[in-house]
């Protein structure tokens, strides 16, 4: 048969761009087609014969050398050009993908900053890896853990340095705030540290002016922070100037240090020489005997290559050697790494409010889950849309594209979209960072997170996600024979449709768990903020006492009670919302004339005659302290918990009993109804109230709800007459409780924001997937409408599949949410009961949002004109 010459254009294209493998594939497809065509279809057989002749011509005349291929750079530029065109062509899908990934990545960046800030606490100290804190644990009567203090008695530092060769340096410090005066300026300082000079060897002080180490070694000396220097002296040189502390001692400024960063567990503006505190206790000879005055934080650094377990192992012997054989029965010393304090420590008397490593894991998990949801959206839509590109793949293969070219094209397109999302996410992070800083109260530095190594990781991650998402069209579609894809016989397949359904279920399972968790957290916070505490905390003004005020304590109280806006005034050593740390150990009760130890550690709360009345506390049995009974200075009032722990059946049995507590024998004159003095995260402790009319740390003033501002002005005027040298310090009790739960509230709000974003991303993916499904089933929808189906019926048919996926997500999410939130609530001594309310609410929220998302697209398709879809056929 004579060879038929095809047109010049076809010959040229096939000669230079078709490789032998592609020719064989085309020829195989043509043979299959030729066999199934009816004999009567002469036109189509003629077209096939023409194609066979073209291939034969190419086989005979194809030159041995192909034209020089494009260089790598030109190929990449071409890939990117085609990728941009395709993204522009499919605007809706591209927008959904980019928006989802951008929001997900931005959330990860912000949460990553928060986590990075928390993990970096105290790591700026040069010797942080060798720095440790000594803590003291007092055991309960049953031998279990009782009161765990972050501070210890002053003799420990002295003797530990002598007894442990592994210790390079050790230092004590104590925070005693007070009034500081410079010329006519007076300040109330709450961060005034008194420390051993060795503190400079342990913590990293950046010297700005003067000397720090030598300065602290001098008597009556002080070193101050840069911010304190600006506050006291403005632009003047502070070195050599003198400030006065509490009208008791003049201190010369010897040095200025740079402010410690926010990521420091110890924050202070002034550091004075420890000798002042030692002298106030009667001198070093007295201090060395004070084994139970646990007010001194104690840090030490180990020598290089020292064995920490050896030091820990010798602590029991150390206690026995200095405190006697029975010392380890009631208490023990423990050692804690400096860098573990912020996240792994929540002891009874911490210097500041610490965080918890559990929340780091929680927020890291949230960041990861949000990113997973965003990536699932992308991969879902990429795989769903890929089947629509089958004909595109076929045409590219007909025009000579090798399989490798197609794979590279799809992968470049996918990676490009992810990179665009990364850059947009960076912009979102920068725009929202100021608000995020303000909300968290942290000095978040984006530069700390975006280091060279981190940027490389982000780029590597983008590459990975892009390759994974682009792998389906790249490797799945390019393997099919040309004629098959051109005839539209390639679809996403049931297996891939099932995968997409699984991914949608996974997304909504995560989202529903987060919604349930958010509701439970809000319920718990609302519970602890509104639970009856056993006393009245509203309009309770707290005034801090000082040496001048204590000299005229009763007179000051008397003047305040004369004010029309003041209902009552009471004094106490501690204020509700603080921790009950004072204890004289267990009490002894008299049984048949003999003393019997109760083994119950009682918390000592020292109050005046009017404290219980001011707080409107309920006395179940007996009476309050009374001025009519002078012996009340040796009598006691117990709370219900103390009565139960001691072993009395009820309050009536306790009243009138004689007990000995702290070496004082007295009578139980009353029993109080239990009250929540500390946070609701702590159980109510057994409390014994003692009478103190002379030295109370604070006054509680019950203010009438009328004109509070005017009453405060009057109180300040009276105060200035009794304590002219001390500025008044006051706040309100409800503010103190808000501060107490501020961290929990902040975390709850963060949880809510990120849970909302998770739901948004899941619905965004569902919206895109629904849009794709509507496009795929457009002809089916049109035919159903032609056959008489109503809009509601069509919406129901299209929505049913996706609604069922959300229902399955709920079934999976609820047991997991129940488990996680039950475990979280176990951390609160007083908590809500976990009911089905948050689960039903989450189901309604998730169901409505999902249904609305689905309905928008399905309704649009249901009301469209059928002819618009059917005319294509």
Per-residue model confidence (pLDDT) at position 387: 59
Of 51, 57, 53, the residue nearest 37 (C-alpha): 51
Per-residue model confidence (pLDDT) at position 6: 45
Query: What Cα–Cα distance (Å) separates residue 442 from each residue in 81, 116, 117, 368, 437?
Result: 43, 11, 8, 22, 6
Name the domain boundary from 275, 310, 344: 344
Quick one: 570 and 518 in the same domain? Answer: no
Of 789, 803, 800, the residue nearest 864 (C-alpha): 789
Tokens for 494, please give them.
């049931």
**What is the C-alpha separation between 53 and 539, in angstroms, rounded?**
99
34 contacts: CB under 8 Å, gap ≥ 6: 45, 48
Question: What average pLDDT values come out for the chain (873 residues) when binned by 10 residues?
Answer: 43 47 55 53 53 54 44 66 75 79 85 86 92 87 69 92 92 88 85 92 93 88 93 90 90 93 90 90 86 89 90 89 77 91 84 81 85 77 64 65 71 81 87 83 70 75 74 64 56 59 82 87 85 89 86 88 92 87 79 76 89 93 91 92 90 90 89 89 88 82 88 92 86 85 79 81 75 71 76 75 84 92 85 89 83 73 64 52
533 contacts: CB under 8 Å, gap ≥ 6: 576, 675, 676
Q: Is residue 535 part of a domain?
A: no
**What is the C-alpha separation between 717 and 852, in angstroms, rounded?**
62
**What is the C-alpha separation between 509 and 758, in angstroms, rounded?**
11
Q: Is residue 101 part of a domain?
A: no
Instruction: Classify 269 as helix, strand or coil.
Output: coil
Instruction: Classify 206 as helix, strand or coil.
Output: coil
**What is the C-alpha separation between 440 and 104, in angstroms, rounded?**
20
Name the domain boundary from 344, 367, 383: 344
How far is it between the farthest Cα atoms of the chain? 133
CB burial readout 813-842, b (16+ within 10 A) else e: bbeebbeebeebbeebeebbebeeebbeeb
Quick one: 655 and 787 in the same domain? Answer: no
Q: Is residue 641 part of a domain?
A: yes
Quick one: 752 and 718 in the same domain? Answer: no
687 contacts: CB under 8 Å, gap ≥ 6: 580, 602, 603, 604, 605, 638, 639, 641, 642, 672, 677
Per DSSP, 152 falls in state B
Cα 604 to its chain centre, rounded Å, is: 35
**What is the C-alpha separation between 497 and 502, in angstroms, rounded?**
9
Tokens for 397, please give them.
């293969």
Quick one: 683 and 768 in the same domain? Answer: no
**What is the C-alpha separation between 609 and 611, in angstroms, rounded?**
6
Decide: 403 and 478 in contact? Cβ < 8 Å: yes
Category of 493 on φ-ψ map: left (φ > 0), alpha (ψ -120 to 50) or beta: left
Q: Is residue 145 part of a domain?
A: yes
The count of structural domains within the chain is 4
Q: State the DSSP H helix or E strand holding residue 557, giving kind and residue range, or none if neither.
A: helix 553-561
Quick one: 306 and 253 in the same domain? Answer: yes
Per-residue model confidence (pLDDT) at position 4: 42
Q: Is residue 460 part of a domain?
A: yes
Of 317, 323, 299, the residue nearest 151 (C-alpha): 299
Name the domain boundary from 725, 755, 787: 725
Q: Is residue 365 part of a domain?
A: yes
CB burial readout 45-62, b (16+ within 10 A) else e: eeebeebebbbebbeeeb
**What is the C-alpha separation between 137 and 54, in angstroms, rounded?**
92
Q: Is residue 538 part of a domain?
A: no
Quick one: 324 and 366 in the same domain? Answer: no
Q: State the DSSP H helix or E strand holding residue 168, giving kind and residue range, or none if neither.
A: strand 167-175
Neighbour count for residue 83 (Cβ, 10 Å): 19
Quick one: 185 and 316 in the same domain? Answer: yes
Quick one: 751 and 824 in the same domain? Answer: yes
Per-residue model confidence (pLDDT) at position 224: 94
Per-residue model confidence (pLDDT) at position 109: 84
**What is the C-alpha separation between 772 and 385, in angstroms, rounded?**
7
Instruction: Classify 465 as helix, strand or coil.
Output: helix
Q: Is residue 111 part of a domain?
A: no
Quick one: 333 and 407 in the same domain? Answer: no
Please tell me the total number of residues recorded for the chain in this structure: 873
3-state secondary structure 109-125: HHHHHHHHHHHCCCCCC
DSSP secondary structure, 77-101, as one string: HHHHHHHHHHHHHTHHHHHHHHHHH
Quick one: 588 and 705 in the same domain? Answer: yes
Decide: 177 and 351 in contact? Cβ < 8 Å: no
**What is the C-alpha separation between 783 and 870, in angstroms, rounded?**
8
Neighbour count for residue 1 (Cβ, 10 Å): 6
- Domain range spanning residue 429? 357-528+742-870
Per-residue model confidence (pLDDT) at position 347: 82
Q: Percent helix, strand and coil across the chain, each rounded to 5?
A: 55, 15, 30
Quick one: 276 and 253 in the same domain? Answer: yes
Report phi then psi at 149, rounded to 5: -100, 140
How deeply is 7 buried, as exposed, middle or buried, from its count of CB atoms within 10 A (0-12, 13-18, 19+)? Answer: exposed
Query: What Cα–Cα distance (Å) separates residue 521 from each residue in 527, 574, 749, 752?
Result: 10, 30, 9, 9
Quick one: 324 and 194 in the same domain? Answer: yes
Tokens for 817, please give them.
């949410």
Decide: 759 and 839 in contact? Cβ < 8 Å: no
């Amino acid at each position: 048969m004579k060879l038929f010459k095809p047109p010049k254009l076809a010959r040229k294209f096939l000669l230079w761009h078709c490789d032998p493998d592609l020719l064989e594939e085309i020829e195989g497809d043509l043979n299959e087609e030729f066999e199934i065509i009816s004999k009567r279809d002469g036109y189509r057989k003629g077209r096939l014969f023409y194609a066979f002749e073209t291939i034969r011509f190419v086989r005979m005349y194809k030159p041995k050398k192909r034209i020089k291929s494009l260089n790598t750079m030109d190929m990449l530029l071409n890939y990117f050009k085609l990728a941009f065109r395709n993204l522009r062509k499919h605007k809706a899908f591209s927008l959904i993908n980019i928006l989802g990934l951008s929001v997900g990545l931005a959330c990860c960046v912000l949460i990553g900053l928060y986590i990075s800030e928390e993990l970096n606490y105290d790591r700026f100290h040069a010797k942080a890896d060798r720095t440790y804190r000594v803590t003291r644990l007092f055991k309960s009567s049953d031998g279990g853990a009782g009161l765990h203090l972050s501070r210890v008695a002053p003799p420990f530092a002295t003797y530990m340095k002598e007894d442990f060769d592994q210790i390079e340096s050790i230092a004590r410090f104590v925070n005693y705030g007070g009034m500081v005066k410079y010329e006519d300026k007076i300040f109330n300082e709450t961060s005034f540290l008194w420390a051993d000079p060795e503190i400079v060897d342990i913590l990293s002080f950046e010297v700005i002016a003067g000397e720090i180490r030598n300065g602290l070694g001098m008597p009556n000396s002080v070193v101050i922070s840069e911010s304190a220097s600006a506050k006291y002296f403005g632009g003047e040189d502070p070195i050599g100037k003198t400030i006065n502390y509490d009208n008791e001692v003049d201190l010369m400024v010897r040095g200025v240090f740079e402010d410690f960063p926010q990521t420091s567990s110890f924050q202070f503006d002034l550091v004075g020489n420890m000798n002042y505190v030692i002298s106030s206790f009667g001198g070093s000879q007295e201090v060395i005997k004070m084994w139970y005055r646990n007010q001194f934080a104690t840090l030490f650094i180990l020598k290089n290559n020292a064995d920490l377990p050896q030091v820990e192992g010798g602590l029991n012997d150390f206690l026995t050697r200095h405190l006697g054989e029975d010392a380890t029965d009631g208490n023990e010393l423990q050692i804690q790494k400096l860098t573990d304090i912020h996240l792994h420590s929540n002891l009874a008397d911490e210097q500041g409010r610490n965080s918890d490593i559990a929340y780091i894991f929680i927020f890291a998990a949230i960041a990861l889950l949000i990113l997973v949801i965003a990536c699932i959206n992308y991969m879902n839509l990429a795989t769903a849309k890929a089947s629509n590109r089958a004909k595109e793949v076929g045409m590219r293969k007909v025009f000579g594209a090798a399989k490798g070219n197609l794979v590279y094209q799809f992968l470049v397109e996918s990676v490009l979209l992810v990179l665009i999302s990364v850059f947009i996410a960076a912009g979102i992070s920068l725009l929202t960072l100021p608000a995020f800083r303000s909300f968290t109260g942290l000095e978040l530095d984006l530069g700390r997170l975006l280091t060279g190594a981190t940027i490389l990781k982000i780029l590597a991650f983008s590459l990975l996600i892009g390759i994974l998402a682009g792998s389906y069209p790249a490797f799945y579609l390019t393997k099919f024979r040309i004629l098959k894809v051109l005839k539209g016989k390639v679809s996403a397949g049931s297996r891939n449709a099932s995968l997409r359904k699984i991914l949608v279920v996974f997304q909504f399972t995560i989202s529903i768990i987060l919604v349930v968790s958010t509701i439970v957290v809000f319920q718990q916070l609302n519970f602890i903020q509104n639970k009856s505490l056993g006393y009245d905390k509203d309009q309770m003004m707290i005034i801090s006492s000082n040496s001048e005020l204590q000299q005229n304590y009763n007179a000051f109280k008397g003047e305040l009670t004369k004010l029309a806006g003041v209902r009552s005034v009471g004094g106490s050593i501690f204020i509700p919302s603080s921790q009950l740390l004072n204890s004289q150990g267990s009490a002894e009760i008299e049984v048949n004339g003999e003393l019997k130890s109760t083994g119950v550690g009682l918390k000592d709360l020292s109050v005046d005659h009017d404290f219980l009345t001011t707080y409107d506390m309920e006395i179940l049995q007996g009476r309050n302290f009374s001025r009519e009974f002078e012996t009340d200075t040796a009598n006691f009032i117990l709370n219900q918990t103390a009565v139960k722990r001691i072993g009395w059946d009820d309050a009536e049995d306790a009243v009138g009993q004689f007990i000995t507590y702290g070496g004082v024998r007295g009578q139980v004159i009353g029993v109080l109804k239990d009250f929540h003095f500390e946070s609701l995260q702590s159980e109510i402790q057994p409390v014994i109230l003692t009478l103190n009319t002379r030295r109370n740390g604070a006054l509680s003033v019950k203010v009438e709800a009328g004109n509070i501002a005017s009453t405060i002005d009057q109180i300040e005027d009276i105060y200035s007459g009794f304590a002219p040298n001390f500025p008044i310090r006051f706040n309100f009790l409800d503010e103190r409780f808000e501060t107490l739960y501020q961290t929990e509230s902040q975390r709850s709000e963060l949880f809510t924001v990120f849970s909302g974003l998770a739901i948004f991303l899941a619905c965004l993916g569902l919206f895109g997937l629904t849009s794709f499904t509507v496009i795929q089933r457009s002809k089916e929808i049109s035919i159903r409408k032609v056959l008489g189906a109503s809009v509601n019926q069509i919406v129901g048919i299209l929505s049913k599949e996706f609604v069922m996926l959300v229902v399955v997500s709920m079934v999976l999410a609820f047991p997991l949410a129940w488990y996680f939130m039950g475990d979280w609530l176990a951390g609160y001594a007083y908590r809500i009961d976990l009911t089905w309310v948050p689960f039903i609410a989450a189901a309604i929220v998730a169901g409505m949002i999902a249904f609305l998302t689905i309905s928008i697209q399905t309704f649009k398709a249901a009301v469209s004109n059928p002819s618009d879809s059917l005319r294509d056929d």
